[in-house]
Chain A
Amino acid sequence: MTPSSSAARAGPLHALRVWWTMLAICLEERLVYRGDFALGTLMRFLPIVTQVFLWTAVFAATSRPDIAGYSRNDIVAYYLLTMVTRAFSSMPGLAGGISRSIRDGSVKKYLVQPVDYVGFLLAARVAHKLVYYAVAILPFAAVFFLCRGYFPPPPDAATSAAFLLALVLSFLLGFFMEATLGMLGFWMLETASIVFAYMLVQYLLSGHMFPIDMLAGIPTGVAGVSLADVVRWLPFEFTAYFPAAVWLGKVRGAALVRGLVIEAAWVLLMAVACRIAWRRGTRRYSAYGG
């Protein structure tokens, strides 16, 4: 009668099994909607075309061979690579989904069942991404093949590995930042405007709009501190700029190692923040609402 007799499997191994099952089920669920993003993915490349025209015009107007170390080809390659980074670090619907589950009460399920909500969200997001990549790989491959002329020769194995590591970390960073943001829903009814502000800051400061190196000359008013320095103190660059810069060989040696360590530290910090937000949030939810 008591379920404890069936609790033979416990500990981290069991947690992994639960997580694996969640992943498998989320995968199945995502596959129901596989058609949705095949077209969407292709559409996302459209802004790139405008960027190519814009920078072609910029370089035509100047006699300089490069801007902040980026040639015209580098710039196009950079934009295409940030598309890859964003495919890892962007979390469409994550923050909104969390605050909605708080508002409509479906978050209760995770208070009643012996299951970890953050772990579940992570499994769901990994599944979301895996299905996305399975579909998106074709348009990505096509675009990269067509644009192969813009790219420098591929980097060595160590740099490629660092690039992959930076991408995985950017996925985790994006996940924990947005999940933490979504949990603000415990304190406020509507988080949409905060999420929007976050997206905006993220877009400007992540390097999604232009390589962060280009901010180096822009003063902030504080002596000796440029806008690029400010961006370097924030986590956003790791969600677009950093992995792309690694692939293009703009970050090397000690700077590369330091970058990866800082990125990992941000992941850890945001993971802890996410936990704290969940713990405090559920405590508050239990006390006031429910």
Chain B
Amino acid sequence: MHNSANPGSPPSAAAEPVITVSGLAKDYRVFDKPEGLLASIRGLFHRPARVVEALRGVDLTVGRGEFVALLGPNGAGKTTFLKLLSGIITPSRGTARVLGHVPWERADDFRRRFALVMGQRNQLWWDLPAAESFRLHQEIYRIEPARFARIRDELVGMLGVRELILRPVRDLSLGERMKLELVAALLHEPEVLFLDEPTIGLDVVAQHTIHEFLRQVQTERRVTVILTTHYMKDVAALCERLVVITHGDILYDGSLAGVVDRFTTHKIVTLDFEEPPARASLERFGFPCEIRGPQAVLRIDRGRIADVLPDLLRGAGVRDVSVEDVPLEEIVAGMFRSAARPAEAVR
């Protein structure tokens, strides 16, 4: 992997590694169906196949109790990565160990010790109350009855869904279902938890509840969590470590703070003036992104900020000032864009 080593390096080095991945790659063969009837008929005899490299040799080590966010644009290989780690698919190249097991051997001992929650996928029985699905999990995962009852009550208590577990799942809202999915996934006290977009489509309140819940579960039980998401709110609320994947490669692996240091060159300074400022007067401090009435937003080089700020404030009629980092969304969007590459070669 070319650039997985980073200055703001992951804290995993010290902790006992739970997940170790090296050179992990996955190729998919895809068949493009050309347009038109004639081409379709030709396609019956010869289908042009293309190899898409969903993952191109990823190295990663995750220590016990870490909460890692996996970020990347659609099709970057995040879900492929989680599928490999949970043993649903086998890799084309490379190795992985999760809890000492090769995931795709699907040993029962391994499968009893982790859980995978896919935002769009149901492990709960649609027509039955969640309590019944929980009971089935109790048997599948061999959870002692007393322990099962205690954990279940704890989890539903934390999420505030106690009264929902006796209602048929089909009658629940998306957010309620997601909460119960999380309960089902955690009943057997997995040591490793993979979450694939768990907050997709949820309202702000539900998202917040799930954040609180996941944070508590992770700190109290020392669960190792890998989360894929498109919401920076998830990342900011939960993860100390950020892994950015684009085009099947790890583009960044390090702390959340580190990403700001490494990928931004400037800060955002918002100024409130007594009177609308002139654009020209601001340009010598930095780049004015926006001037609206008496308010101006400037992008100022990080290295210059300490020198520039006193001058700015000493100037005419500044009423208020705030200095912020570039929003995480913007940084990540920038990373995604900079990594944009032409489509894969046809083989």
Give the interface of A toward B (CB within 8 A): 1-4, 6-10, 14, 17-18, 21-22, 25, 28-29, 32, 105-106, 108-109, 111-115, 283, 285-290
Contacts and interface: CB of A to CB of B under 8 A. Distances in A.
Closest 3 CB pairs of A and B: A290-B89, A114-B111, A21-B139
B142 A112 contact: no
A90 B104 CA distance: 35
B217 interface: no
Contact of A3 (B86, B104, B112, B123): B112
Contacts of B104: 286
A30 to B, nearest CB: 9
A280 B136 CA distance: 27
B147 A6 contact: yes
B221 to A, nearest CB: 7
A13 B287 CA distance: 73
B121 A6 contact: no
Contacts of B115: 112
Interface string B104-135: 10101101110110100111010110001101
B153 to A, nearest CB: 16
B209 to A, nearest CB: 25
Contact of B141 (A3, A17, A105): A3
Given A6-B144, A114-B140, A286 B90 contact: yes
Interface string B70-106: 0000000000100100111110000000000000101
A81 to B, nearest CB: 34
Nearest to B26: A290
Given A8-B144, A21-B136, A21-B139, A2 B113 contact: yes
B143 interface: yes
Given A6-B147, A112-B86, A112-B87, A25 B132 contact: yes
Contact of A6 (B116, B125, B143): B143
Contact of B142 (A9, A28, A109): A9
Interface of B: 28-29, 80, 83, 86-90, 104, 106, 108-109, 111-113, 115-116, 118, 121-123, 125, 127-128, 132-133, 135-136, 138-144, 147, 168, 188-189, 191, 221-222
Nearest to A32: B127
Contacts of A18: 139-140
B140 A113 contact: yes
Given A111-B87, A286-B104, A1 B191 contact: yes
Given A14-B142, A286-B88, A290-B88, A106 B121 contact: yes
Nearest to A111: B88
A3 B132 contact: no
A266 to B, nearest CB: 30
A22 B133 CA distance: 10
Contacts of B222: 1
A288 B133 CA distance: 30
B322 to A, nearest CB: 45
28 contacts: A1-B221, A2-B191, A3-B112, A3-B141, A3-B143, A7-B142, A10-B142, A21-B135, A22-B139, A25-B128, A25-B135, A28-B132, A29-B128, A108-B88, A108-B121, A111-B87, A112-B86, A112-B115, A113-B140, A114-B111, A114-B112, A114-B141, A115-B140, A286-B89, A287-B89, A288-B28, A289-B89, A290-B83
B83 A7 contact: no
A289 B54 CA distance: 12
B123 A109 contact: yes
A111 B86 CA distance: 9
A206 B306 CA distance: 88
A8 B144 CA distance: 8
A75 B133 CA distance: 47
A285 B108 CA distance: 19
A288 B136 contact: no
A175 B88 CA distance: 26
Contacts of A112: 86-88, 111, 115-116
Contacts of B123: 109, 113
Contacts of A8: 142, 144
Given A3-B142, A18-B139, A286-B90, 12 more contacts: A2-B191, A3-B112, A3-B141, A22-B139, A25-B133, A28-B132, A29-B128, A108-B88, A111-B87, A113-B111, A114-B111, A114-B112
A240 to B, nearest CB: 32
B32 to A, nearest CB: 15
B150 to A, nearest CB: 12
Nearest to A26: B125
Contacts of B87: 111-112, 286
A27 to B, nearest CB: 11
Nearest to A33: B127
Q: Which of A2, A25, A32, A112 has the most CB of B within 10 A?
A: A112
A115 B140 CA distance: 6
Contacts of B188: 3
A86 B118 CA distance: 39
B93 to A, nearest CB: 13
Contacts of A285: 89
B220 to A, nearest CB: 11
B29 A288 contact: yes
Contact of A25 (B111, B112, B136, B147): B136
Contacts of B168: 32
Contacts of B135: 21, 25
A39 to B, nearest CB: 20
Nearest to B92: A287
A10 B135 CA distance: 17
Contacts of B90: 283, 286-287
Contacts of A114: 108, 111-112, 140-141
